[in-house]
Structure 1
Amino acid sequence: MNRLIDVAVSRYRLVLLLVFLATLPFLWFYAHQSFRNHINDFFEDDDADIAYYTAFQEVFGNDEVMAVVFRDTDIFTPETLAFIRGLTDIIERHDGVQRVLSLTNAEVALGEEDTVAFEPVLPDGEVTPEVAEASRAMALSHAILTGQVISADGTTTCLLVELLPFESNEEKGKVIRSIQAAADAVSGGRRLRYSGGPCVEVEINALTRRDNMLFTPVTFLIIMVIVYLMLRNTALSLLGQVNIVIIVLWGVGLLVMCGEVVNTVTVVIAPVLLAISIADSIHILSHYRTLYTRNGRDHRAAVGEAARNLWRPCLFTSLTTGMGYLSFVTTTVRPVKIVGVFTAMGVMIAFFMSVLVLPAFLMGFRKSVVKRNREKAPLARESGDPVIGLLSWLGEWVVSHSGAVMLLFLVAAAGVGYGMTRLRFDTDFAAYLKDGNRVKEDIRFVESNIRGTVPVEMVIEAVSPETDFTHPHGLKVLDEVAEEIMAHMAGQYTHVFSVADYIAEIHEAFTGGESGKGALPESRMDLRDYYELADPEVLERTVSPDYRMARISFASKFGSNANAEKVRAFAEARVGQILGDGYRYRFTGLSSLYNTMDRNLKISQIRSFGTAFVLIFVMMFFVCRSPLLAVISMVPNLFPICTTLGIMGWVGIPLDTSTIMIASVTIGIAVDDTIHFVTWFRRNCEAGLCTREALLKTFRDTGKPIVMTSVVLCTAYFVFMTGSVKPVIAFGALAGLSMFFALLGDLLILPALIYLVKPALCREEAEAMPQGDVSDAL
């Protein structure tokens, strides 16, 4: 590497030309990012749950439904019914819509002598007051419609819009926004509400795009200001910024080049790369300024020596950070895995850019850099730097009060340990939206006034033809399962529908109500006749063509995945008893997939952190070259993780698709400053200093770059708090806090532990060289 650095310094023009040419294709890909937040993207293509969900859609049709809802004093007036009819027609003819179910096109079964006819709730023709009243009576007397397209009090109505499958979020978003615009244009002043999974998905996708446009430039500006305030050299600051811009272009460009998309998880890659990649630049630029002052202002020598002195610790910090992110490949949540892989590659790109390209930049812009160095030369001396002076005082205090520092650490550990026991895993896409968001407000309105809009799909499959759903017993099984689950999930599930409900309506109409409301036929022959009379479109969505599989569709309110676990646990305990040996069941649909993702997150947390911890500990052993020092060095890196997780437990922040990355990200990044601290501590020990003096000199040697990188990382992560999606906001706040706690760990806990334990690296105090001699030796 030293030879490569010498080449970069001596042939800097060629290096800069090659980097410029190589950046052009990455710039093109960076400008062509695509955005997608579909639930399928959170699973691998060969995932069993996704495969079953796809097969379910092939049999029963697409289950992506949006709801268009409004409330009025009385829905059943001629004017309002005419409006619903017109709105239904407009939406049904809209591109991307498969069908619409509303109050004005719904049909109910009515008995006519020895047969059954399906009559529309609202007949064609003029809507008179008499027709409106007849429609009221018909709609409110049929349980299939109540709670689905009309509320029980007749004041809220819902148009269920079944969408066609879409290839991309952008296409789906355009269709939904177009439907909303068309509906609002004819609303006549009515406040239309839009709800359902597709609306939430499209909204989150739009917010992700907005956040992506905001995070990177804001992070860039903040980093530029902080680096300038620390270095007090405009030229050095700008060169550092140019370097990290190239790194981000390469990192994100590579992501897009590989066909990946941006979503609520992968949106963090660009700003995270900005924050991480500046760390190596800060250490090299800061060390360059010190060397420039010490060696008689020899610019070329200072550039080369700075890169040669720091490439090893920078390599180890890059490897440990990369390992922290690369540990995500063990997860089963695909976007988290993508963040791990491409951030790890970006970190290694940042290493080579910092130790090879940054020196080339320093050589290429020598005049500007040297000019500013001479203007600010007094500030470059340690004696005149207030930050170094403050760090020297802090080092003296920590070493003198190392016992008290460790006692405070143990007290804090007890508190955060209890907080960690209160951690929970949760995934609720509707909760991702901020309070006050229109889509979220519409969801709450719809759920409060008429129905839930999250489909929970349960498939019951007959083991053999003898128990299929052409037998009355099969329908009774469906009915009993539906009733038991609705009772168990009361308050969360608002509506249920299956072929059993549909056949019961036909049976009631055929018998003139004598069989009783909700009764099912006893005769298989009658059941076959009802199938012949039924609307084929309804049957296609409720029972398979061979009558071996039946679908029970529950309408759930948006909520915690704890509800999905609740219904699964109940199904395992009770549904199996109802089904016996003749049937088997499986949950599918969006709610089921969210629940599966929640379980995957739990596994991911354990796998990724465990992998990262082991790999980083091994790497720290090579850095420390002492088993005892390696163990000591891991304590301050576990401190920020445990503290952050403890805070999450105390305040009730769940682990979800974004916050799940906190532990692995923190240990991968926090260990960077530990490596620099340990590296300089070892060098000072090898130069003959005792433990105390080696620690104090380490504070002066590398304390300022450690503070600079920590401030940059904290601030960069805090930028995420300006985001539009709650998990990203929480991730930013928690990751920023983790970086702050990591700084405390490196400047308080690590030196206190080293001083108390005194690993066999330094000479005894009595044998230590005088400090002036040590400085000369270095």
Structure 2
Amino acid sequence: MTPRVIGFEPLVLPSEAKGWAPWLSPSFPLAERGGECEHMTNIRQRIEYLFEQLGRLVYRNRVKSLLLMAVFTVIPAAFLPKLSIDTTNESFFRKDDRALVEYNAFKDQFGKDELFVIAVQGPDVFDPGFLAQLKSLHDELKTRVPYLDDITSLINARDTRGKGDTLIVEDLLEHWPRTGRELRALRERALSNPLYRDLLVSEDATFTTIILKAQTYLAAGDVDVFAGFDERAPTAPAERSRLYLSNQQNREMVDAIRDVLKHYDGPGFRVYLAGTPVIVADLEAGINKTLQTMIPLSLLAVFVFLFVMFRRLSGVIYPLLTMILSLLASFGIMAAAGLPMTHITQILPTFLLVVGVGDSVHILAIFYFRYDGGADKEDAIAYALGHSALAVLMTSLTTAAGLLSFIAADVAPIVDMGLIAPVGVMIALLYTVVLLPALLALFPIRRAALRRAGTASAMERLLAGIAKFSCDNPLKIIWIAAVITLLSIAGMTSLRFSHNGLKWLPDDYPIRKATEVIDEHLKGAVALEVMIDTGRENGLHDPDVLNRLEHSVDFASGLSVGELQIGKAWTITAILKEIHQALNENRPEFYAIPQDRKLVAQEFLLFEGSGSDDLEDVVDTTFRTVRFTIKSPFHDAMVYKVLLDIVHDHFVQVIPEATVTTTGVMALFTGMIHNVITTMAKSYLIALSVITVLMIVLIGRVRIGLLSMVPNLIPIMAVMGMMGWLGISLDMSTILVGSIAIGLVVDDTIHFMHNFRRYMEQTGDVRQAVMNTMLTTGRAMLITSVVLASGFFITTAAEMKNTINFGLLTGSSVVLALIADYFLTPALMIVVYGQRKASGSHQTRSAVKS
């Protein structure tokens, strides 16, 4: 047998593979395969012939092809400066999403509910030195933090009291305590105020807070100062044109706050910064860091493995250049479409990089085999495209189909992923079949040295050994696969849906530690907001409605769901009770709701006349719509779903005449996670159905097409089982693994079955067909799987845990898919075809066709 090279090493067959030679010889013309390609009666053969002709066309017009691809790259890449990053809560929703519309209506009425919470720890927060330092911090934050709408702490907390017939509403520390008696009075007044407790000061007086509220709109001057007092909660279309604060302004506020805090943090005055806006800012910073780190690392891993496998620079530079340019085009299109980079789409660069390189490897492996065997460039390029481009096309379609299923989701970033990722995959395909051949044609490539006949590489011996083992032990392999499936199912029973974005960050991250401290000592910093529309003007002057609201405060304050314990609840009744007590000689027994409608109206009127604007934060000017706030620790969004249902049902029962809307960040996330869980299940079914149809079309036989899906499903089940055994939850990140992995794991099966069918038609011998497939396509499958897996596994070096889990799980699915296609797929083919052997070429083709 003539020595030759497949990909990068001379192929010399081990004894198990004798007799497979003619159609794999570099001198064997592509047009002679199967003896029927000349007439192109078979659709698959026609497509292969078209790809072969495409290779020749690109070769003969290589400069024009490069210029065409350059133009195709430059035009979308021009939009890259417009690519934005959006990690706000709103980014998960479409602009017309009902939950978002209701949340924006809430913000338009009452302002932002996302608060910056600074917890300050000391031996005693009422110590004169501590209070002086607290005032200094309060004042500096007030002057230095941009976009600040309000700041609240013990320094300026509302202190409502009566003096004779006069209602006095002033700052708690309006008059600085000078004596020990005044300090004791201050302590008693603060700790006895139910609203302060666990909001501004802890019960043991070792923690206090400074709460910062950002402007609702980008520029306060652009807003009608009376816009928040509209009678109806929904805002008019003209108002919606105003811009809410963006991530950029949020980041500026976080940076300014931290810059101030670093000068105050120290023994006896420990500061902790938390709150939803800080979590959003730090997640955004984590995404930026991930992108800056992971893309170079992925490129390095791909570079190393390609060089090790191909052992020439062209085998490294051309695939990487092809993929980098396709990335530029893909993200240029993403920017032009106005799609931002989000928590979800941050995985796209690494994903598209490794997927695209996998396409290039299959073309290059066959090209080098043909070229090193003595063929000229044109024939080698044409042969490579004719041999592998159809399989690459099918793998691209199945990967795109898996990703396209994301558009069934109701969550904006996942839908965006379902739109841009398939486009990126198909762009990578275009660059692979046009740009890569043009580069091969234009620049010189050295031919690899040939090995002596009679020798075989370690990889060839390994692949031949796997082929022999799979053919000799099909039933054992199938039984092992069955056991793995059962173990996977057992692990899957432990899977649970859970989403806690805070736990994506490392344990030692300041925001995570700060949130845990505030949750422990101040019972949380996350708010669930409820808007209650009584349906009539001055409906909140009705003592009966107010009594039911107060009952709801007691109900919510004692509510717990699993490990989640509500920290606090309040509404307009807290202000009313303060007023009533103050107007009755500050006597504690009058800390209650007046039971006379006219008296309620008078007391609210007196409060408004005192100069305080605090009512604006909880009620509209017509006293029709009220805000009800529930404070809780940062917890699993799935638990919040149960909590939201309980709260909503309570208000519907207690105030049935009112229109109740649960909103706020917690409500947004809960609705979003619920939608993800329900819609992603649909996307899995869609992806599996589409890919199964494509497999049947490619293979040409329904039974074999269906059977070929078994090696694809088992790796997916194994990964999900692994998640269950390792305690990895299905969250916004890991739930995407299924659809992505479905598209990826089927790639190896497509390449295997595509070539197995070809060799089965040519030999009629199932064992020989398996051996031939392993020694050709099996090599490229190994290279692409190593490249894919390394690209995904490299993300385990990332800082954010969601990225680590995604890379670990997706990389594992690629490895398991390769193992399944190396062992289980041949075993299934042996069982299906039996031990069929060739008895003549005509008999072989007839048997296969039948």
TM-score by length of 1: 0.94
**Aligned twin of 2:169:** 118
Equivalent pairs, count: 761
1:414 pairs with one of 486, 502, 511: 486
Q: CA deviation at 1:342?
A: 1.2
Partner of 1:559: 635
**For 2:541, what is the secondary structure of its paired residue?**
coil
**Cα distance between partner residues in 2 of 1:221 and 1:31:** 25
Q: Aligned partners of 1:538 and 1:176: how far apart in 2?
A: 25
Q: Does 1:547 align with 2:619?
A: no
Letter in 2 for 1:485: A
1:340 is aligned to 2:415:
no
Q: State the shift of 1:764 in Å.
A: 3.6
Give 1:222-301 correspondences, 5 Å limit: 222-294=301-373, 296-301=374-379
Task: Give the Cα separation in 2 of the matches to 1:589 and 1:693.
Answer: 64
Are 1:630 and 2:705 matched, yes or no?
A: yes
Aligned to 1:201: 280
Give, in whole Å, the separation in 2 of the partners of 1:76 and 1:719: 51
What is residue 776 of structure 1 aligned with on the other side?
none
2:742 is equivalent to residue 667 of structure 1:
yes
Report the more deviating stretch, 45-54 or 515-524. 515-524
Q: Which amino acid is the alignment partner of residue 317 of structure 1?
A: T
Contact 2:103 2:664 in 1 (8 A): yes
Q: Does the 8 Å contact 1:333/1:604 carry over to 2? A: no
Check the 8 A contact 1:81/1:132 in 2, yes or no. no
Superposition deviation, residue 337 in structure 1? 1.6
Match of 1:701 in 2: 776
Q: Please, which moves more after superposition, 183-192 or 242-251?
A: 183-192
How far apart are residue 657 of structure 1 and its match? 1.5
1:78 equivalenced with 2:150 (yes/no): no
The percent identity for this pair of structures is 26
Separation (CA, whole Å) in 2 of partners of 1:684 and 1:518:
88
Shift of 1:347: 0.8
Counterpart CA distance in 2 for 1:323 and 1:610 is 11
Q: 1:174 matched to which residue of 2?
A: 252
- The Cα shift of 1:257 comes to 2.3
- Establish whether residue 149 from structure 1 lines up as the match of residue 200 from structure 2: yes
The code of the aligned residue for 2:442 comes to G
2:754 aligns to what? 679
Following superposition, the deviation at residue 185 of structure 1 comes to: 2.8
Residue in structure 2 matched with residue 526 of structure 1 by the alignment: 599
Q: Which runs of 5+ in 1 are unaligned?
A: 774-778
Cα distance change, pair 415–517 in 1 and its aligned pair in 2 (3 A): farther
In the aligned structure 1, how far is the partner of 2:459 from the partner of 2:364? 16
Work out the CA distance in 2 between the residues paired with 1:552 and 1:253: 44
- TM-aligned CA distance change 1:739 to 1:516, over 3 Å: same
Amino acid at match of 2:304: V
Q: Does 1:59 align with 2:127?
A: no
- Say if 1:678 and 1:383 are closer, same or farther in 2 by CA, change over 3 A: farther
Any idea what SS the aligned residue of 2:120 has?
strand
Following superposition, the deviation at residue 131 of structure 1 comes to: 3.8
Letter matched to residue 538 of structure 1: D
Equivalent residue runs for 1:179-194 within 5 Å? 179-186=257-264, 190-194=269-273
- Aligned twin of 1:600: 675
TM-score by length of 2: 0.86
Query: Residues 553-593 of structure 1, C-alpha deviation per residue, up to 9 Å, x if partnerless?
Result: 111110112331231342355443322x3224221101111
Q: Is the 8 A contact 2:56 2:378 kept in 1?
A: no
Between the aligned partners of 1:517 and 1:718, the Cα distance in structure 2 is: 65
Name the SS for the 1:179 alignment partner. helix
The letter for the 2-side match of 1:469 is: L
Question: What whole-Å deviation, never above 9, does each CA across 1:55-82 have from its counterpart, x for those lacking one?
Answer: 1111111112101111111111222212
Structure 2 letter corresponding to 1:470: H
Q: Which aligned pairs between 1:469-508 and structure 2 lie closer than 5 A?
A: 469-489=540-560, 492-508=565-581
* Residues 547/126 of structure 1: CA separation in 2 closer, same or farther (3 Å cut): closer
Decide which structure has greater helix share: 1
- The range that moved more, 281-290 or 81-90, is 81-90
CA distance 1:224–1:31, shift in 2 (3 Å): farther
Aligned residues of 1:456 and 1:554 also touching (Cα < 8 A): yes
Counterpart residue type for residue 453 of structure 1: A
- Cα distance change, pair 562–352 in 1 and its aligned pair in 2 (3 A): closer
Q: SS of the residue aligned with 1:192?
A: strand
Distance across 2 between alignment mates of 1:343 and 1:611? 16
Structure 1 residue 49 and structure 2 residue 111: aligned? no
TM superposition shift of 1:351? 1.0
Q: Deviations over 1:627-648 (max 9, x none)?
A: 0111011111111111111111
Please give the alpha-carbon distance, in whole angstroms, between the structure 2 residues aligned to 1:647 and 1:460.
45
* Map of 1:583 onto structure 2: 658
* Residues 1:389 and 1:478: Cα distance change in structure 2 (over 3 Å): same
Q: What amino acid sits opposite 2:698 in the alignment?
A: V
Equivalent-residue separation in structure 2 for 1:566 and 1:472 (angstroms): 30
Deviations 1:336-359 (A, max 9, x none): 121221111111111111112111
Contact 1:100 1:160 in 2 (8 A): yes
Contact 1:328 1:608 in 2 (8 A): yes
1:179-226 Cα deviation digits (max 9, x unpaired): 221233355763321010001000000110010111111101101111
1:8 and 1:473 mapped to 2: Cα distance?
81
Q: CA offset at residue 127 of structure 1?
A: 5.0
Q: Which amino acid aligns with 2:428?
A: A
Q: What is the CA–CA distance in structure 2 between the aligned matches of 1:174 and 1:594, rounded to whole Å?
A: 24
**What per-residue deviation string (whole Å, max 9, x for no partner) do you get for residues 510-540 of structure 1?**
2236572642111111110121122552211
Q: Compared with structure 1, are the counterparts of its residues 378 and 20 closer, same or farther at alpha carbon in structure 2 (3 Å cutoff)?
A: farther
Residue aligning to 1:132:
183
Equivalents in 2 of 1:517, 1:406: separation in Å?
A: 78
Distance 1:280 1:419 in 2: 33
Q: How far off its partner does 1:4 sit?
A: 3.0
Contact (CA 8 Å) 2:410, 2:679: kept in 1 or not?
A: yes
Q: Which residue of 2 aligns with 1:220?
A: 299
Residues 565, 167 of structure 1: alpha-carbon distance in 2 compared, 3 angstrom cutoff: closer
Query: Which residue of 1 is the match for residue 725 of structure 2?
Result: 650
Q: Which one is further off, 388-397 or 526-535? A: 526-535
1:767 corresponding residue in structure 2:
839
Amino acid at match of 1:70: V
1:20 aligns with 2:70: yes
The Cα RMSD (Å) is 2.3
SS at match of 1:555: strand
* Alignment check: 8 A CA contact 1:464 1:582 kept: no
Aligned-residue offset at 1:482: 1.9
Note the C-alpha offset of 1:703.
0.4
- Indicate yes or no: 2:328 matched with 1:328: no
Separation in 1 of the partners of 2:346 and 2:389?
Answer: 30
- Residue in 1 that maps onto 2:155: 104
Q: 2:831 aligned with 1:728, yes or no?
A: no
Partner residue of 1:307 out of 372, 377, 385: 385
Distance change in 2, residues 1:572/1:191 (3 Å) = closer
Task: Check whether the contact 1:419–1:645 (CA below 8 A) recurs between aligned residues.
Answer: yes
* 1:616 has 2:691 as partner: yes
- The amino acid across from 1:64 in the alignment is E
* Residue 471 of structure 2 corresponds to residue 399 of structure 1: yes
* Whole-angstrom CA distance in 1 between matches of 2:803 and 2:653: 43
Q: Structure 2: which amino acid aligns with 1:443?
A: T
Deviation at 1:119, TM superposition (A): 3.7
Aligned residue type for 2:531: V
2:16 alignment partner in structure 1 = none
CA shift, 1:236, in A, is 2.1
**In the alignment, what sits opposite 1:160?**
211
- Corresponding position: 1:538 with 2:610: no
Shift of 1:394: 0.4
In the TM superposition, residue 602 of structure 1 has moved relative to its aligned partner by: 0.8
